[in-house]
Structure 1
């Protein structure tokens, strides 16, 4: 069993050779052998550039083969890889570079209508030694930048012996990456992992999906996110499957990707499958290759799951639960579970993982009692970067990860998520969990998506406010929604205000950004 990500790449190149490791709709495919060679070039260039073991290098690049070559190359040079989402703006990236003491930045050139390095033009980053720009022309390169091609050429100065010596320094407990959390509830924190932990995340996903070299695996979302990195291309290297990714996230792009490439495994948020089934002609695409669908969220609409089961030929539809801090998966449903269990729970603990529910005093709660979800296994984060307070609040002395999620376990150990602790609000002394209301609202005709937040109220302390995206052609009104809520919800759960949106603010993994809704309401 390989014990580091660079060693995994070596092993995969030896085993699968010229088989396609990655396949892009834009660039075509790259083989396992060539990907390994490109990672060598990056590692060699870093060594030639003076990179030391433990140096941190960030990747601010959209999904492409160079992203993975850079990541493995950084780690092969005994460095720490820091993934950055391309949705981040210059100030946010500069803050991470300063906080993370990052020495080198791999960045895309032109993307989404702008030259990305320009966003850092006015930022002060004294520790940043090198900016490597991908897919840029010589005319675009600024005075503090170097093109990818020129940087890679520096590898000629590094001997094979020097590269092998550096790679030999990489051990299972060598730091592999710093993962900045998605920040749907506030400023992101940097979770730190070693190679053993990060490989554990990939191994867990391969076991869940029963992935093999025969699979065509579509990772969903950016490589900067855990699900597309550790449970994504790392899992692809483990299984020998070919990894794909969407170039856009609309229904037609997803349907084309699955049908044209015979995708067999694709996890994605519920919103993706809602969009696909909302397309009037989705049945025109051949989805017969699709054998394993996985989704997960606090709210997984039961009607969506029933439609997927009844109207598609997907062999297995499943749900699961995890987070960056545990390298991905913690629970998952099992083959053969009934649809109600798949929709209303996120499964049982995966092998090697323990789940318990704790009350405010830390005491373990019984079957059916709601409290904070605690996770314990051998792939939890080591710590948060320079934040012992957050580390202590998240990891307790007994090794339990405090998730911040609220849930309960049934008699068979299946976990039902209720909400995020931070999303809970109190109406006149009653705890309200928005996800509970959102789940019920998905059954109301005319509502495509809903999101509930708590807002200040002079009399009750807080009350609920609902953000609604109507279904196509729907004219459902605020009055109708309030009337339905009064008829179906306890009075303290009834939203006092309604805002209609064309689309929810979501992050790159499909999660609704609740604090963006709060800011939207403040500015209204």
Structure 2
């Protein structure tokens, strides 16, 4: 590759983009690899071939049609990882329905907002997960009349009052519904929306990134190509399916290459991951850095034979260089890759390759993905020279349709030339390798979860004693970052850290609840009245004795 003279790269490839819907591609894959393992779910004792998975997907999709849903309707899924999740993902795609991913950690206020923002007509839900009682929350929301669009709730695990059982849906379909499903396979277009994923914004309210068949099918395919996946691979997927990491990098990368999807549990448990890799002889393993740290640090780590591993993905937050080196040497993952991207870009734009020099594989996020463009620009929008820092902008097949029902926020993110402005600060070297060096926005990445402080601030403003609040991210050795809330109380009010955290319990996801709370009389500001969050971060680090981790 010629050395760059400006910070612009585009992914040249001899392999064309896939011009099919997810359903059409999956049908062809199921025929090609009919007898190969498609899905292994350890905690459910599920082991299905591609042919078996296709039958279950088709039956569930026909059942959704029998319930009266038509292409374009939104169907939510609120569940941890399980076999029903991937069935729903593929069945909605085949039926032309738009799958809406609801974060399993969401509580009342968040679920209320998400389901109503996109007018979900149906919801596939688990009963509960950890401390989240999904059925209880849904009963409360429906009893209060807060879900006017929701017509059908499908419960994983069996029918309940006012809810259909997941396993009962296929039986609702007749021959005409299966025939209609076949017709839809010929009618659906690959540029149609297939998936909505919520990503928080600086307004404090989640935005629904709307992705198409073309977006996520191609991204999953080229991720798998970079990893050199084949029908011989078995990929352990402990990352959540509601996120692009699970459903695109995981499920679609596997399905497009005939590989087996292996789920070690409902949620992440380091011991279950180690046991699953050893038992199933997995060749690939996914995770955010905190997951790999937990696996490497487990007391029984050395007892497990992980020699079957060769590849995998570490992504979701900056990857500590020393952790990457240990993953390569101690977990046998010589071909492990790092990915960078965002939900709005399906998600991957950069990925390291097994052929890259080790220092580039552990010290960068790799080079541009096939058929994708990236430029690094300064504050005036001009492309900067190689080695200089600027905002990363990306363009190509992977850029979302837009934010659901939010033209204003879409136009702020995607300019007239279709460049997606990521808000991330990055630099390209002369060979085209990318380093992510910071964030223009104040986004906090805690254990792979993107958190926008404004959303937490908006919620904390509801507390009757809070006059003003600012939320920042501070370094954390386990999660990469943790939340710290600086709070100005109303005149004469008294409050404790425990009271603030108690106010958050059950209303916002656990990972959004500030670990640190500091009561202050004022915030550091510029003469024009702008809050100086960088000074707040520096002071919080000093007071709490926190140290920044060195990352790639």
Normalized against structure 1, the TM-score is what? 0.80
> Is contact 2:244-2:343 (8 Å) kept?
yes
> Partner residue of 2:330?
311
> Partner residue of 1:81?
99
Higher relative contact order (CA 8 A, sep 6+): 2
> Partner residue of 1:21?
38
CA distance 1:346–1:185, shift in 2 (3 Å):
farther
Secondary structure (helix, strand or coil) at the match of 2:174 reads helix
> Partner residue of 2:258?
240
Cα distance between partner residues in 2 of 1:348 and 1:159: 45
> Is contact 1:333-1:348 (8 Å) kept?
yes
Offset of 1:209 from its aligned partner? 0.8
Secondary structure (helix, strand or coil) at the match of 1:380 reads coil
Secondary structure (helix, strand or coil) at the match of 1:355 reads strand
Cα distance between partner residues in 1 of 2:419 and 2:381: 11
Secondary structure (helix, strand or coil) at the match of 2:232 reads coil
Cα distance between partner residues in 2 of 1:384 and 1:202: 21
> Partner residue of 2:156?
134
> Partner residue of 1:3?
20
- Residue 481 of structure 2 corresponds to residue 451 of structure 1: yes
Q: 1:334 aligned to 353, 371, 385, which one? A: 353
> Partner residue of 1:119?
137
> Is contact 1:220-1:227 (8 Å) kept?
no
Offset of 1:494 from its aligned partner? 9.2
- Residue 179 of structure 2 corresponds to residue 161 of structure 1: yes
- Residue 243 of structure 2 corresponds to residue 225 of structure 1: yes
Offset of 1:286 from its aligned partner? 0.8
Cα distance between partner residues in 2 of 1:99 and 1:226: 20
Q: 1:397 aligned to 416, 428, 441, which one? A: 416
Cα distance between partner residues in 1 of 2:364 and 2:539: 22
> Partner residue of 2:56?
38
Q: 2:364 aligned to 345, 366, 380, which one? A: 345
* Per-residue CA distance 1:240-290 (angstroms, 9 max, x = gap): 111012314232222112111111112211111111222244222111111
* Per-residue CA distance 1:338-382 (angstroms, 9 max, x = gap): 333223211111221122111111111112211111112212101
Alignment: residue pair count = 457
CA RMSD of aligned residues (A): 2.9
> Is contact 2:124-2:156 (8 Å) kept?
yes
Offset of 1:399 from its aligned partner? 1.7
Counterparts of 1:55-70 in structure 2, within 5 Å, are: 55-70=73-88
CA distance 1:363–1:168, shift in 2 (3 Å):
same
> Is contact 1:219-1:243 (8 Å) kept?
yes
Offset of 1:493 from its aligned partner? 8.9
Mind listing any 5+ residue stretches in structure 1 that lack a counterpart? 426-433, 467-491, 502-524
> Is contact 1:219-1:244 (8 Å) kept?
yes
> Is contact 1:305-1:339 (8 Å) kept?
no
Secondary structure (helix, strand or coil) at the match of 1:496 reads helix
Secondary structure (helix, strand or coil) at the match of 1:214 reads coil
Q: 1:92 aligned to 104, 110, 117, which one? A: 110
> Is contact 2:335-2:353 (8 Å) kept?
no
> Is contact 2:376-2:427 (8 Å) kept?
yes
> Partner residue of 1:299?
318
Secondary structure (helix, strand or coil) at the match of 2:225 reads helix
Secondary structure (helix, strand or coil) at the match of 1:497 reads helix
Cα distance between partner residues in 2 of 1:293 and 1:419: 25
Secondary structure (helix, strand or coil) at the match of 2:386 reads coil
Cα distance between partner residues in 1 of 2:150 and 2:386: 52
CA distance 1:74–1:451, shift in 2 (3 Å):
closer
* Per-residue CA distance 1:27-61 (angstroms, 9 max, x = gap): 22122112211222222222222112211111112
Offset of 1:173 from its aligned partner? 1.9
